[in-house]
Amino acid sequence: MSSKDKEEKEDSVKWSFRGDEDEWDGFDRRITRWMRKKLGAVGESIWSGEVPEIEYLSDEDLLDHCYRVLDALKLNDNALARSCKKDKEFWTKEWQMQWLDRQVTLMADYIEEHSKDQAELEIINYTGRKLELRKHLYKQFGAGSAGDIHEKELDFERGLPENGKKAFPKGCDLIVKLRKLEARRLYFFRMCEPSKRSTYIYCQESKLVRIVLEHIGDDPDYKDCVSRVLDLVKVKRMIEGSKKKKKKPMSINLSAVPDMHERSFSDDWLPSWILLSSSLIVEYKKLVKASGDVLSKTSNALDAPISTLQTLLSHVELIPFSI
């Protein structure tokens, strides 16, 4: 079976999006994969609505855009890409706008073909810009369409506690917890319009780091780990500062380092999410191992009298008796 036949078989797989909120993430990922398979990075940007306004591109930006489109064409048809590269019309705004309009229409047709019930009606009745189709569908059916975005933000601030417990209750699976918190941040990132992501605090990595530090920083099991991570960041920042001032490695001005109160207002002194989460996971695994060792020793201690009794009984000769 050729690669083209395989793609056609994958595209013919029966699936549908009905518009239920819990279906949105799966639907969004499916369309993203389909667009990426067809047009690479350009396809993803078409679905997300992040394609630049071609009409207003400068000559230099237009040239960059044309090369990205060429890369997209090469994914499925090298001959077409070579032909377009030699065509003077290809490098014009008119050609690019017509091509983009064609791809957006094909995407909308594909989505409509795989939609049912309220989702299908919404797509049929949609009269806005097709490049904003994802944004429109998200508002109608995506996470938060029920108007509970603010509550999700507050829950994130609280560290996603469960059943009235602390964000990180004693004995919780830290790996699962950190994964849930990261998933919530990514949820906010996908929810937010691309143009507003830089100012929307809940999709920022620094916000995630602050939430974890706030809720786990005073936990006796992880307090030392958090302190080590923060100290590592502080030392790294001090060394970077000395290099910028062209000082010798050993001539670090400690008085120039802001105190803890001042550092708390600057993201520059926060650890990266990778550093913080990986450090906490290492510490968690140590705690789990130590807990397992203790349980093992306790179990052995409890089993000892029984095994000793069994050994003694094995050496006792049972003498039959009669009444």
Per the structure, the complete domain to which residue 267 belongs is given by 149-282
293 falls within a domain: no
Look at the block and give the residue holding tokens 């530090």: 213
Residue where one domain finishes, among candidates 105, 124, 141: 141
Distance CA 68, CA 39 (A): 10
The average pLDDT across 267-289 equals 92
So what's the pLDDT on residue 317?
A: 45
The average pLDDT across 111-120 equals 92
| Domains identified in the chain, total number | 2
Name the pLDDT band for 19 (thresholds 50, 70, 90): confident
pLDDT in tens, 93-103: 999 999 999 99
So what's the pLDDT on residue 316?
A: 42
Distance CA 129, CA 101 (A): 10
So what's the pLDDT on residue 150?
A: 85
Non-local CB neighbours of 80 within 8 Å, separated by 6+ positions? 73
Q: Which of 317, 223, 322, 208 is closest to 272 using CA atoms?
A: 208
So what's the pLDDT on residue 264?
A: 59
323 falls within a domain: no
So what's the pLDDT on residue 20?
A: 82
Q: Regarding predicted confidence, which is higher, 260 or 233?
A: 233
On whether both 168 and 113 belong to a single domain, the answer is: no
For helices 24-48 and 93-113, angle between their N-to-C axes, nearest 10 degrees: 170
The average pLDDT across 186-195 equals 80
Compute the mean pLDDT over every residue in the chain, rounded to the nearest whole number.
82
So what's the pLDDT on residue 21?
A: 74
61 falls within a domain: yes
pLDDT over 60 at 6, yes or no: no
So what's the pLDDT on residue 218?
A: 79
On whether both 99 and 36 belong to a single domain, the answer is: yes
45 falls within a domain: yes
48 falls within a domain: yes
Residue where one domain finishes, among candidates 114, 141, 168: 141
So what's the pLDDT on residue 72?
A: 95
So what's the pLDDT on residue 299?
A: 53
130 falls within a domain: yes
On whether both 240 and 155 belong to a single domain, the answer is: yes
For helices 149-157 and 174-191, angle between their N-to-C axes, nearest 10 degrees: 140
pLDDT in tens, 144-186: 555 578 888 999 999 999 888 899 998 899 999 999 999 999 8
50 falls within a domain: yes
So what's the pLDDT on residue 206?
A: 94
pLDDT in tens, 221-252: 999 999 999 999 888 887 776 666 665 555 55
So what's the pLDDT on residue 108?
A: 94
On whether both 20 and 120 belong to a single domain, the answer is: yes
Residue where one domain finishes, among candidates 141, 162, 190: 141
Non-local CB neighbours of 249 within 8 Å, separated by 6+ positions? 239, 242
On whether both 153 and 276 belong to a single domain, the answer is: yes
On whether both 155 and 134 belong to a single domain, the answer is: no
Where does residue 160 fall: left (phi above 0), alpha (psi -120 to 50 degrees), or beta otherwise?
A: left
Distance CA 19, CA 10 (A): 22
